[in-house]
A and B are shown apart, each in its own frame.
Chain A
């Protein structure tokens, strides 16, 4: 192997005055201590799932060792304690996103299930043939397919808002597509590919003006920026615990109480009923009406540790520090010969999608993996967006609170290594 051409290291902006240092946070994440292929792990696949701090792992262990029981039914001590811990997470979520009441916080399996819940339940109560649902060209498959299924079943029309060449929502097209026929606007808060932050408050205002309800897919936003659902005034907000340092298998659906009240249950079973006879079943009150069956108790209890962790860091500070790192990464990537970065949104966070000219992203992913660098390659569950970009696949680096300037430098060095390896 010939000499490696690594770019000259640049000095990062000093983080003086910051509440915390990413470098120091790394100690709280056991997996980041693990060597991968003999090298320190550079984890840049946070948009897929984040790593878990020790507090979350401990909370999960503690639940099973000290609290395990079913919730909302037992008369015994452990069930009471488990129920209390479970409901404490609900309160923590309510405060974290600024909801009015815990009745507006529904636990699901993840963002996908949260969106499906709204798609099916809302459409049964409110949608008629000929009505329209508006999504955007940058949506994740989980904010496309449920609506396609609803449209097919209920004779509703799905419309798509195009993007500008910068990878932002085309606002004039959005306004053109919005009409009194529009009943639902479902939009990502932050694109999982381009990192674009959509102007949700403005979208909600415009949608409400024509009488449409707005669902926000917040999976890629909640881990990166402060979210206040009352300030956004959205009708529904969906996100996943595992993308915000919490356990897998837990999602949240926030919904305005009056809408959730009017919507029929999504699934039938235990916990969602008040009384059952073979003649008639009375549904439980909110939020339990939408939580059929034994929930993912342990992971929901442990999820609270993730929220406590983010509260400690302060979401505004998370946003500020990640913004700096993203800027640093964009500059560093631009300097690598042959790098193409997709999208130039004015307001962005989280993810950077890119390709290295002459190297298929899949090959690039393999080369970086050998260096202990984890990125995502492929279509990122956003094939319509890939078609719009005119590529089959891209590489994607996505950041979390523990990522440092050194991580970015190692990524850049990995790109140079890949160029050399493939004789570019």
Chain B
């Protein structure tokens, strides 16, 4: 069971039961849908962008513990960050959960992961990487202004 506890750390279970920023953002400037075909997880991300900065962010949707907690912690982690900082954080997070440097990753210093480090156990569960990254792929699409629904398949 120790492997399982590495995956489902208490903070993850807490965020799953009490997701933060779990609401509709009435003054959102961007809204983005994300969908994991494999398990049916759905997320809607709301962003309020101002001067290249994520002033506010929230999400709605349904999913497994990993995807819900990941979305919740993500909203806390990127709030107040610039678009570039948020994208750099995604790269660092992606490396954390896959154990691989993403192609096209910048060469600059990695931003500090902070709370996101709680997802390090995902690396040992390759089939769950998509759960952990659904919210992030959705965020990237929102920041890049893409309209279509994001799919992690």
Contacts and interface: CB of A to CB of B under 8 A. Distances in A.
Given A370-B3, A370-B4, A421-B8, A363 B66 contact: yes
Nearest to A393: B40
Contacts of B34: none
A281 to B, nearest CB: 40
A145 to B, nearest CB: 14
Interface in A287-307: none
Interface string A329-344: 0000000000000000
B13 interface: yes
Interface residues of B, number: 19
Interface in A373-422: 377-379, 386, 391-393, 421-422
Given A360-B64, A392-B62, A422-B65, A366 B7 contact: yes
B13 A423 contact: yes
B39 A366 contact: no
Dominant secondary structure of chain B at its interface with chain A: mixed
A394 to B, nearest CB: 9
Given A360-B63, A422-B65, A366 B4 contact: yes
Contacts of B3: 370
B135 interface: no
B41 interface: yes
A157 interface: no
Contacts of B131: 362
Interface residues of A, number: 19
Name A's interface SS: mixed
Nearest to A362: B64
Given A366-B125, A422-B13, A361 B39 contact: yes
Contact of B4 (A361, A362, A421): A421
Contacts of A1: 1
A386 B13 CA distance: 26
Nearest to A386: B40
A5 to B, nearest CB: 15
Contacts of A361: 39, 64
B41 A392 contact: yes
A393 B128 contact: no
A367 interface: yes
Contacts of B64: 360-363
Interface string B1-24: 101100110000100000000000
Contacts of B40: 378-379, 386, 391-393
Contacts of B13: 422-423
Nearest to A378: B39
Most A CB within 10 A of own CB, among B38, B39, B131? B39
A423 to B, nearest CB: 7
Interface in B61-84: 62-66
B60 to A, nearest CB: 14
Contacts of A393: 39-40
Nearest to B130: A362
A412 B131 CA distance: 26
Contacts of B94: none
B1 A366 contact: no
A1 B1 CA distance: 9
A363 B42 contact: no
Looking at A362, A378, A379, A391, the one whose CB has the most chain B CB atoms below 10 A away is A362
A187 B42 CA distance: 30
B1 A370 contact: yes
Contacts of A359: 65
B115 to A, nearest CB: 20
Given A1-B1, A366-B125, A370-B3, A360 B65 contact: yes
Contacts of A378: 38-40
A378 B62 CA distance: 13
Interface string B26-70: 000000000000111110000000000000000000111110000
B28 to A, nearest CB: 24
Nearest to A37: B3
Nearest to B39: A362
B77 to A, nearest CB: 22
A185 to B, nearest CB: 29
16 contacts: A1-B1, A359-B65, A360-B64, A360-B65, A363-B8, A367-B4, A370-B3, A378-B38, A378-B40, A379-B39, A379-B40, A391-B40, A392-B42, A392-B62, A393-B40, A421-B8
Given A362-B39, A377-B39, 19 more contacts: A360-B39, A360-B64, A362-B64, A363-B66, A366-B4, A366-B125, A366-B128, A367-B4, A370-B3, A370-B4, A378-B38, A378-B40, A379-B39, A391-B40, A392-B40, A392-B41, A392-B63, A421-B8, A422-B13
Interface of A: 1, 359-363, 366-367, 370, 377-379, 386, 391-393, 421-423
